[in-house]
């Protein structure tokens, strides 16, 4: 026999021969074997852990790692900033020595980024705005993922629901998102909840459709049929066979919908349907800055919020892409 055998095949064969050596009765020979975690793993690649490989692959991308650090620091700082000494609250109007509000004051040691058109401190407004915009972005991403995955699995598994969901998808996909955003924000009272709701209402269906397609494709693939025949539970099939394929794209979509939501907020605010002016957000700040942008000395009020907005959105975009590459099991090993 000139064949070179894979060590795993050899081990398996040995196992079978040993089992046959034992004197088994007819009933024992054809009885169902119970599922055994250890036995199931034995044929697999040794020492492979999905998350460990993902993290290892992600760490190799140094740009994404650096941006992750930047993003973590920004996130942390938005919560630390109000506790630092010498800070203003974002809505507080500062008065000058003559008792009048300090309007459009350029940057100095008290107001680190200057003040806006009615004398509010720009530094604290930028951070409060970043905090609120991040809350909006992350809530939208989480909501979309949660509803999308749940509905997508239902869509894929329950055949009776297919027609209903497909029709719903056609409708949502055909109404321009802008129109939905505008109508929902107009009908409901302005506020954080409204804006998050308006943005999630169209976003989830894209995620659901993706999950549904994957469920349909993957669940009847040979390796899943094999798993099922071997008595693997549905939960295990979903967790070990299906989910790793989905993680990559789910994470990508989530990471991209955060900058998307932050951008939509700027747009809705411009139209005049955004957050009320008491709640500071990057959209509100950019819109305030836009009104003053034609005078070069006041342009800083547009530029500072834009810088932080760009840092946040670019970081999420690059990290999302890098993580999605790293999380794809095809790129492991």
Which residues of the chain form contacts with other proteins (CB under 8 A)?
167, 170-171, 174-176, 178-179, 182-184, 186-187, 259, 262-264, 266-267, 270-272, 286, 290, 293-294, 299, 302, 306, 309-310, 313-314, 316-318
* CA separation for the pair 79, 81 (Å, rounded): 6
Task: Report the residue number, 26 or 174, with the smaller CB distance to other proteins.
Answer: 174
**Closest to 261 measured CA to CA, from 274, 280, 272, 248:** 274
* CA separation for the pair 110, 127 (Å, rounded): 16
Task: Report the residue number, 100 or 294, with the smaller CB distance to other proteins.
Answer: 294
Q: In the bound complex, what is the minimum distance in angstroms from residue 121's beta carbon to other proteins?
A: 22
Task: Report the residue number, 102 or 262, with the smaller CB distance to other proteins.
Answer: 262
Q: In the bound complex, what is the minimum distance in angstroms from residue 313's beta carbon to other proteins?
A: 5
* CA separation for the pair 252, 245 (Å, rounded): 12
Beta-carbon neighbour count of residue 220 at 10 Å? 10
Task: Report the residue number, 93 or 302, with the smaller CB distance to other proteins.
Answer: 302
Q: In the bound complex, what is the minimum distance in angstroms from residue 172's beta carbon to other proteins?
A: 9
Q: Which positions ≥6 away from 31 have C-beta within 8 Å? A: none
Q: In the bound complex, what is the minimum distance in angstroms from residue 239's beta carbon to other proteins?
A: 27
Q: What's CA 252's distance to the chain center, in Å?
A: 6
Q: In the bound complex, what is the minimum distance in angstroms from residue 40's beta carbon to other proteins?
A: 33
Let me know if 209 is exposed, middle or buried by CB neighbors in 10 A (0-12, 13-18, 19+): buried
Task: Report the residue number, 49 or 178, with the smaller CB distance to other proteins.
Answer: 178
* CA separation for the pair 292, 298 (Å, rounded): 6
């Amino acid at each position: 026999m000139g064949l070179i055998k894979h060590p795993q095949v050899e081990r398996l064969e040995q196992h079978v021969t040993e089992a046959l050596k034992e004197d088994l009765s007819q009933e024992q020979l054809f009885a169902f074997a119970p599922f055994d975690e250890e036995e199931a793993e034995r044929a697999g690649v040794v020492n492979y852990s999905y998350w460990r490989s993902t993290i290892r692959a992600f760490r190799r991308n140094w740009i994404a790692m650096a941006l992750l650090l930047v993003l973590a620091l920004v996130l942390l700082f938005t919560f630390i900033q109000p506790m630092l000494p010498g800070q203003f609250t974002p809505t507080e109007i500062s008065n000058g020595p003559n008792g009048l509000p300090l309007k459009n004051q350029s940057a100095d040691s008290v107001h680190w980024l200057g003040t806006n058109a009615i004398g509010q401190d720009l530094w604290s407004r930028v951070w409060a705005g970043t905090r609120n915009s991040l809350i909006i972005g992350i809530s939208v991403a989480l909501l979309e993922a949660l509803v999308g995955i749940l509905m997508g699995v239902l869509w894929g598994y329950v055949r009776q629901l297919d027609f209903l969901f497909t029709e719903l998808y056609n409708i949502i996909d055909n109404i321009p998102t802008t129109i939905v955003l505008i109508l929902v924000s107009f009908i409901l009272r302005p506020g954080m909840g409204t804006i998050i709701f308006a943005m999630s209402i169209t976003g989830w269906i894209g995620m659901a459709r993706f999950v549904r397609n994957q469920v349909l494709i993957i669940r009847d693939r040979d390796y899943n049929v094999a798993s099922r025949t071997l008595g693997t539970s549905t939960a295990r099939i979903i967790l070990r066979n299906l989910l790793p394929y989905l993680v990559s794209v789910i994470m990508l979509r989530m990471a991209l919908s955060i900058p998307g939501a932050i951008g939509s907020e700027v747009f809705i605010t411009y139209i005049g349907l955004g957050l009320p002016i008491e709640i500071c957000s990057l959209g509100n700040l950019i819109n305030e800055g836009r009104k003053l942008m034609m005078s070069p000395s006041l342009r800083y009020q547009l530029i500072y919020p834009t810088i932080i907005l760009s840092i946040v959105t670019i970081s999420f975009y690059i990290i999302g892409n890098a993580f999605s590459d790293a999380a794809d099991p095809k790129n492991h090993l």
